[in-house]
C-alpha cells in the first residue's frame, strides 16, 4: 500500500455470520450469496470463505462481476440477476454463468440463438416491484412450456424481488400472493430452485412455502437494518404498533428482532500525516467555509471524495486513540481535516468506520443506507483481510 488508507475486512466475523444464519434458518436447499457491488464493498477475496460456510450459489448484478468471481472459484454456480447482452452468451456458456430471463422479447431472442450446450436460466417474475421481470401470466406459461421442450436451455430457477421488508405495510404479503398467482400455471416441481426472499425478509417473515432458496446479502456482512430496543417503553410501543398493523393490513405475523448475533466485518482506517497549528480567525480548507474560533490543532488525513468518501462526511466524527474528533472544513478530493488536540501524534491511526464509530452511525449521519456507505468506497482503496487477527491478504 502506498498510503495508509485502507478497508479492513474481518473474515472470521463473516464466517460466523454465515454459519449462524444457515444453522438458524435450516429450511432451505439453496443459500444464495448476494455478492454484487464488489461483495457489498468487501471485495471478492471472501468468496471461498462464504462457500466453505455453506453458501452454495452466488448472485451478482453484471457479467463483469460474475467473471471477476469466476477467477476466485471455477465451480460455484453464479446467477447474473440483470440481463446480459445476448452477444456475450458464449462467455456465459464457457464460464458456467446462469442468466436471467427478464422480458418476453429477450426470451424470444434467446430462443433464436443456436445454443448447443447447456445454459442454465432463471426466470424473473415481477410480483409488484415494477423493475425487471415478467408480469403477464400467459407469457410466463408460454416461456415455461417452450423451455421444457428445449434440449439445452434449462429452466433452473424462478425468482422475484421484494420491494419492502413488509414490517410496516402489506406489500410483502401482496407480492407473495401475486407471485403464486403468476406461476400457478406451471409445474413448480420441475423447477429446481425457487427464490424470493432476501436478508431482511428472512428475518422478519416465515418461510414462503413454495421457496427452497433464499438470497443472503447484507445479513452475511453483519447487518439486519432493524435496530430495536429490547426493553422499556419503546419496545412495548413498537410491539403494539406491529400488532395494530397486522390487524389493519391482515398481514402475516412479523418478527421484529433478529434472533442471531451478527458481527460487522467492515472497517475503514487512515492516519494522521501532518499536524498544524491554526490561529483564531484563520480559515481551514477549501472555500473558507470553516473559520477557527480559537487557536487550535488540526490533523491532515489522506482520504477524500475521489475515494468515495462522501463530502457529506463534513461535521461527523472520527476516532483517534479511543477519542472522538470532528471532521472540519470541506472534504477534498484526497484529504480531510480533523480538529484534534495535543494528545494526537503524526502517524496515529484514524478510525473512520469501525470500533467506536459504527457504519450504521455513519450511514445515518449521511442520510443513506449501510449498503450505500459500504459500496460507495472506491475499489482503489486497498482491502486488507484478516483471520485470527493476522493479515492474510491485501487486495490493492
The pLDDT tens digits for 76-90 are 999 999 999 999 999
Distance (Å, rounded) from C-alpha 197 to C-alpha 30? 12
pLDDT tens digits, residue range 317-372? Answer: 999 999 999 999 999 999 999 999 999 999 999 999 999 999 999 999 999 999 99
Looking up residue 177, the CATH number of its domain turns out to be: 3.20.20.10
18: in domain: yes
Is 200 found in the same domain as 282? no
pTM for this structure?
Answer: 0.91
**Mean of pLDDT over the chain:** 93
Distance (Å, rounded) from C-alpha 2 to C-alpha 294? 35
**Residue 357, strand partner residues:** 354
Is 222 found in the same domain as 270? no
Q: Does residue 181 or residue 247 have the better pLDDT?
A: 181
pLDDT interval class at 292 (50, 70, 90): very high
The residue segments making up the domain with residue 284 are: 266-395
Is 280 found in the same domain as 208? no
Give me Rg for the CA atoms of the chain.
Answer: 24
Is 274 found in the same domain as 324? yes
245: in domain: no
- Report residue 279 as a C-alpha cell: 490561529
Which residues have CB under 8 Å from 332's CB, separation 6+? 285, 286, 304, 305
Q: Is 353 in contact with 362 (CB distance < 8 Å)?
A: yes
Number of domains, the chain: 2
Cβ count near 270 (within 10 Å): 22
Is 275 found in the same domain as 203? no
Which of 168, 196, 226 marks a domain boundary? 226
Q: Is 119 in contact with 129 (CB distance < 8 Å)?
A: no
Is 211 found in the same domain as 279? no
Amino acid at each position: 500500500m502506498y498510503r495508509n488508507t485502507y478497508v479492513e475486512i474481518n473474515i472470521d466475523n463473516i464466517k460466523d455470520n454465515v454459519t449462524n444464519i444457515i444453522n438458524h434458518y435450516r429450511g432451505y436447499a439453496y443459500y444464495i450469496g448476494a455478492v454484487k457491488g464488489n461483495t457489498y464493498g468487501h471485495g471478492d477475496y471472501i468468496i471461498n470463505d462464504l462457500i466453505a460456510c455453506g453458501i452454495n450459489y452466488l448472485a451478482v448484478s453484471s457479467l463483469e462481476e460474475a467473471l471477476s468471481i469466476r477467477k476466485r472459484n471455477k465451480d460455484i454456480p453464479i446467477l447474473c440477476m440483470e440481463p446480459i447482452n445476448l452477444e456475450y452468451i458464449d462467455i456465459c456458456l464457457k464460464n458456467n454463468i446462469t442468466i436471467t430471463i427478464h422480458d418476453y422479447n429477450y426470451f424470444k431472442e434467446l430462443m433464436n440463438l443456436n445454443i448447443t450446450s447447456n445454459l442454465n436460466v432463471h426466470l424473473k417474475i415481477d410480483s409488484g416491484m415494477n423493475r425487471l421481470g415478467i408480469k403477464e401470466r400467459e407469457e410466463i406459461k408460454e416461456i415455461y412450456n417452450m423451455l421444457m421442450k428445449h434440449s439445452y436451455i434449462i429452466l433452473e430457477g424462478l425468482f422475484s424481488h421484494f420491494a419492502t421488508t413488509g414490517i410496516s405495510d402489506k406489500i410483502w404479503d401482496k407480492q407473495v400472493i401475486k407471485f403464486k398467482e403468476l406461476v400457478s400455471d406451471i409445474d413448480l416441481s420441475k423447477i429446481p430452485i425457487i427464490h424470493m426472499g432476501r436478508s431482511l425478509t428472512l428475518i422478519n417473515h416465515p418461510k414462503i412455502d413454495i421457496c427452497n432458496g433464499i438470497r443472503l446479502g447484507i445479513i452475511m456482512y453483519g447487518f439486519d437494518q432493524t435496530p430495536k430496543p429490547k426493553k422499556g417503553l419503546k419496545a412495548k410501543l413498537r410491539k403494539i404498533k406491529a400488532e395494530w398493523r397486522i390487524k389493519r393490513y391482515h398481514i402475516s405475523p412479523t418478527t421484529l428482532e433478529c434472533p442471531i448475533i451478527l458481527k460487522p466485518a467492515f472497517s475503514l482506517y487512515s492516519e494522521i500525516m501532518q499536524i498544524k497549528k491554526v490561529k483564531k480567525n484563520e480559515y481551514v480548507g477549501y472555500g473558507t467555509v470553516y473559520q477557527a474560533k480559537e487557536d487550535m490543532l488540526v490533523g491532515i488525513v489522506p482520504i477524500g471524495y475521489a475515494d468515495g468518501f462522501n463530502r457529506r462526511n463534513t461535521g461527523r466524527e472520527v476516532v483517534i486513540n479511543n477519542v472522538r474528533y470532528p471532521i472540519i472544513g470541506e472534504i477534498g478530493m484526497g484529504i480531510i481535516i480533523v480538529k484534534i488536540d495535543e494528545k494526537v501524534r503524526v502517524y496515529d491511526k484514524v478510525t473512520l468506520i469501525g470500533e467506536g464509530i459504527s457504519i450504521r452511525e455513519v450511514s445515518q449521519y449521511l442520510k443513506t443506507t449501510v449498503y450505500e456507505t459500504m459500496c460507495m468506497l472506491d475499489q482503489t482503496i486497498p482491502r486488507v483481510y484478516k483471520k485470527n487477527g493476522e493479515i492474510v491478504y491485501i487486495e490493492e
